[in-house]
Chains A and B, each alone.
Chain A
Amino acid sequence: MNAVLEGYDLVKRFGAAVALAGVGLAVGRGEAVAIMGPSGSGKSTLLHCLAGIMKPDAGEVRLLGQRVDTMRERERSALRRTRFGFVFQFGQLLPELPAEENVALPLMLGGVPRGDAVRRAREWFGPLGLGGMEERRPGELSGGQAQRVAIARALVTRPAVVFADEPTGALDQATGHDTMRLLVEATRGNEASLVVVTHDPQVARWCDRTVEVRDGRILSGEVRDGHAPGGPYPGHGSGEAVTRVFPGVSR
């Protein structure tokens, strides 16, 4: 497999508690991986280790073959900024910035001039169903809309991997599904890989593969074959999304 991100034998302890007890996971280019499991099983910890947010106590993390876990905080921070995208449950948008500037912020942090950054950010609003919301502020958006802005923000830098930790956990089921579908489509359309923690089996079905975590170990790794990046995916009734063109593809 053409792995973009690999984790080997990851161990993470919090005091006496073992959050990860030797976990290995590889994420292919453009692959969407769902991580499922009961609360407290170590899903978030796994995601944090893979994303270079936490250093594992043992094991290795590699992005395109390069060690991530041994980097210093400053380098990992730069890596997260440039190579990864993040969608959290809520609270990641700066309330005082208009939606478009929230999306443009990662680009500006990367040194893109403001005009360019905002223009590139705006390209995401239409495809994500946010047309006309560019200048609204997070407080003026619904939960689902705010999460879609967060998705745009995660993808605007064209990251290699997008990490999402229960990104629809705070939304009702219908909105959650819509949002998650957009997340999967948009990452795939952008040729980015996706690692998403979710409780929703329906969501997991849209991904290429589901990984089940229990007590800091991986139970099963079910691979769903036959879905090339950008292709149609099961459980996804409407063809509408496929016709969307995400900015990443157009470039």
Chain B
Amino acid sequence: MSGLLGLSWRLLRGGGRSGLLGAGLTAAAVAVSAALLLFAVSANLAFQGRADREAWRNPVEARTGAVAVEAVRRDYVRDRPITVVDLAALEPGASPPPGLDRFPAPGEVWFSPALAELARELPDGQLADRFPGKTGGVIGDEGLVHPGELLVVRGQEPDSPVMAATATDDPRGGAAPTKISDFTGKATSDAEGYQALALIATVLMVVPLLVFGGAAARLTVARRDQRLAALRLVGATPGQVVAMTVAEAVITAFGGALAGTVLYGLLIPVLTRIEIAGGSWFASDMWPGVPYTLAVLAAVPLLVGLSAVVGLRRVVVSPLGVAKRETPPAMRFVRVLALLAALAAVPALGAGTAAGVVAVVLGLAFLAINLTGPWVVGMIGRITARTARGPARLLAGRRLVDDPKAAWRTVSGVALTGFVAGFIGFLSPAGGLFGDADATTLRLSVPAARAPQLTAEARERLSAAGVPARVEVTGGGGRRVLTVAVGKAAGDEAGDGKAAGKDKDEEKAAREGASASGRSVEGSASAAAVDRARTALDGLVPGRGATTAADEEVFSVLLLGDIGTGTVVVLTVSFLVAIVSAGITAASSVLDRRQTYALLRLAGTPLEVLDRARRAETLIPLAVMGGGSIAVGVFCAVPFAFSSVNVSGMVILLVCVVLGFAGVTGAGAASAPLLRSVTADPAPRPD
């Protein structure tokens, strides 16, 4: 075996300049694949990590052996949520939650680093006053979802009124006081939702990656076909031929995978800055850990090796391995029927359809485009060839007809990205859908019986804090809602016109800001005033904070923002893969056909014609299939669309189209010098 390995190594090195270049291209492709694969793995682990770190704040009721009571609620400062955790020990020596080195004593307050900093920055009356008490310490990373998270943990007596608060209606609003036996908790449904989205994104990224890696491996093998067929002719056994080629592919791939790991390592600092769910990532989130890294390092060369074996079957079966070039049978129309069938199911979908069904239909449409691609490429090849007037178009068209699958491989990445872009671009909700909610009217649910008393107290607290506001009680039944319109003229109320001087300045600034941003001046109040009101009202109803409609939307806004971020990330990865694969395919096709190209050049064919042909060969199918995929993506999105016209979605689409064309053109152009150099040889010979 070591003899074989040695021979493989010599085969690899003996391939000459272009052989090494081919191996280099494979290694580069594998490196990009490995880096992105590591990213995909890490992304899932990172969301898992967030879910795990957040779980302790989603308490699970302990039937027996309760050691503590935990209550969680959301508070807000500016437009950011704060998680407020109140803990009361039922037994001495209860183990502390993650990130705290001891169980907080009653009256103690623990801040996350970001909240501590914010509390220092903002005037006390806006934030710090909500959390009076002795500072117990800083919450460590193990207890934080993300580095910028605003989290406060307060120690309480078990009989404190806070620990007897009732649950809010919104599950995101927190958890009512719950007896717990430990801080295991369970993942929140939001965290699980993010994990599901991450998984979908991973599928969108990994499928093209695997296809790409496999294609790269087969390209190397294709170039070796002739040499290996020669080896077979001189009597090498199929086993030996396979072993040598696979060894060669695996050596190359392993080198590439190592390089990819290093590349990924270098990218971690950039990747941690991607904000999801309102926060960036710990570096440790993005590091998949040794076992997963080793798994990727082992799996990638293995897959490349497998792919090489598949590619080699032909050579091994027949010593005259080099396939005869004949007119390939036309692609079956069935491929198109598959797409039509998948699309036929789309109108049946709607906002109410189960997510699983939607995913399946989308997946099928995605696959069907991939299946239809070669058929369409073959067809546009025939049209291009038939209608071509000049030589470049003719060459391009014939090339497309000759091997539509290869041509499709070159552009499939970008075209499939078009599907994703079309779908998301059309779906991504218009900016106006959320974020316009009233951010100045605070609402607080109160027991009906205590409403008058609490209203009076609220007015008192607000005027003491110097916040002009109109306080009203609305609603009926057992619970009433106290509405506090911050900045509104309070009419006959006590706070009328009594705003403190500093408030007037603040309000003036706010009004100017608001009119600058085109919002209605009427009734607007500065975020600072709202935060002062929140702070003033804190503790009015134990365990409840006053929230605005905008606060309650924060998570929806964040989620939409995250979908946007996710889109950008997935599209970036797709484009990277697509463009690298277009570049590699272009370079390989130059290497594969260098004898013919060189002879054409000797016979006086201008290289520009060859370049133009190569460009047309990718751009024509890209235009047709990219456009087609976008259309299919949009079609799939129609049943779910909230709004008809959507600027940001269209911008995404436009950027994708421009990037796709520029990238593929650039990738092809990158191999033009290669074409020049390989055709400069006046005595070209096949490998």
Instruction: Say whether A91 faces chain B, with CB atoms less than 8 Å apart.
Output: yes
Distance of A114 Cα from B402 Cα, bound (Å): 20
Instruction: Say whether A223 faces chain B, with CB atoms less than 8 Å apart.
Output: no
Distance of A247 Cα from B606 Cα, bound (Å): 26
* Partner among B395, B599, B604, B686 whose Cβ is within 8 Å of the Cβ of A92: B599
Taking the closest CB of chain A, its distance from the CB of B138, in whole angstroms, is 68
Contact call A77/B327, Cβ cutoff below 8 A: no
Taking the closest CB of chain B, its distance from the CB of A130, in whole angstroms, is 17
Which residues from A are CB-within-8-Å of B599? Answer: 86, 88, 91-92
Taking the closest CB of chain A, its distance from the CB of B562, in whole angstroms, is 47
Q: How many A-B residue pairs have CB under 8 A?
A: 89
Which residues from B are CB-within-8-Å of A93? Answer: 596
Contact call B395/A94, Cβ cutoff below 8 A: yes
Q: If the complex has contacts A94-B395, A140-B326, are A108 and B390 also in contact, measured as CB distance less than 8 A?
A: yes
Of A2-10, A62-70, A95-103, A120-128, which binds chain B? A95-103
Instruction: Say whether A199 faces chain B, with CB atoms less than 8 Å apart.
Output: no
Interface size class of A (residues with CB under 8 A): 35 or more
The listed residue with most A CB atoms (<10 A of its CB), out of B324, B325, B389, is B325
Which residues from A are CB-within-8-Å of B324? Answer: 139-140
Instruction: Say whether B199 faces chain A, with CB atoms less than 8 Å apart.
Output: no
Contact call B682/A53, Cβ cutoff below 8 A: yes
Instruction: Say whether A249 faces chain B, with CB atoms less than 8 Å apart.
Output: no
Instruction: Say whether B394 faces chain A, with CB atoms less than 8 Å apart.
Output: yes
Contact with B along A32-76 (1 / 0, CB 8 A): 000000000000100010010110000000000000000000000
Contact with A along B364-391 (1 / 0, CB 8 A): 0000000000000000000000001111
Taking the closest CB of chain B, its distance from the CB of A136, in whole angstroms, is 9
Taking the closest CB of chain B, its distance from the CB of A72, in whole angstroms, is 13
Contact call B603/A86, Cβ cutoff below 8 A: yes
Which residues from A are CB-within-8-Å of B57? Answer: none
Instruction: Say whether A80 faces chain B, with CB atoms less than 8 Å apart.
Output: yes
Taking the closest CB of chain A, its distance from the CB of B62, in whole angstroms, is 72
Residues 131 to 188 of chain A near chain B (Cβ within 8 Å): 137-140, 154
Which residues from A are CB-within-8-Å of B605? Answer: 77, 81, 105, 109
Which residues from A are CB-within-8-Å of B600? Answer: 92, 94
Taking the closest CB of chain A, its distance from the CB of B635, in whole angstroms, is 34
Closest A residue by C-beta to B613? A94
* Partner among A92, A109, A139 whose Cβ is within 8 Å of the Cβ of B325: A139
Instruction: Say whether A84 faces chain B, with CB atoms less than 8 Å apart.
Output: yes
Contact call B603/A137, Cβ cutoff below 8 A: no
Contact call A139/B326, Cβ cutoff below 8 A: yes
Which residues from A are CB-within-8-Å of B390? Answer: 108, 114
Closest A residue by C-beta to B684? A91
Contact call A86/B602, Cβ cutoff below 8 A: yes
Contact call A91/B686, Cβ cutoff below 8 A: yes
Taking the closest CB of chain B, its distance from the CB of A21, in whole angstroms, is 19
The listed residue with most A CB atoms (<10 A of its CB), out of B604, B605, B686, is B604
Which residues from B are CB-within-8-Å of A98? Answer: 398
Contact call A96/B402, Cβ cutoff below 8 A: yes
Contact call B683/A77, Cβ cutoff below 8 A: no
Contact call B602/A95, Cβ cutoff below 8 A: no
Contact call B388/A94, Cβ cutoff below 8 A: no
Distance of A96 Cα from B593 Cα, bound (Å): 11
Distance of A106 Cα from B606 Cα, bound (Å): 11
Instruction: Say whether B595 faces chain A, with CB atoms less than 8 Å apart.
Output: yes
Distance of A154 Cα from B596 Cα, bound (Å): 15
Contact call B603/A95, Cβ cutoff below 8 A: no
Contact call B327/A137, Cβ cutoff below 8 A: yes
Q: If the complex has contacts A77-B604, A79-B604, are A114 and B326 also in contact, measured as CB distance less than 8 A?
A: no
* Partner among B389, B398, B686 whose Cβ is within 8 Å of the Cβ of A97: B398
Which residues from B are CB-within-8-Å of A77? Answer: 601, 604-606
Distance of A53 Cα from B679 Cα, bound (Å): 12
* Partner among A81, A96, A101, A114 whose Cβ is within 8 Å of the Cβ of B603: A81
Contact call B391/A105, Cβ cutoff below 8 A: yes
Taking the closest CB of chain B, its distance from the CB of A44, in whole angstroms, is 6
Taking the closest CB of chain B, its distance from the CB of A147, in whole angstroms, is 13
Which residues from A are CB-within-8-Å of B596? Answer: 91-95
Given contacts A91-B596, A95-B325, A138-B325, 4 further A-B contacts (CB under 8 A): A51-B602, A88-B602, A95-B402, A97-B395
Q: What are 15 A-B interface contacts by the 8 Å CB criterion?
A: A53-B682, A77-B606, A79-B604, A86-B599, A88-B599, A91-B686, A92-B596, A105-B391, A108-B391, A109-B605, A109-B609, A113-B389, A114-B390, A137-B325, A139-B324
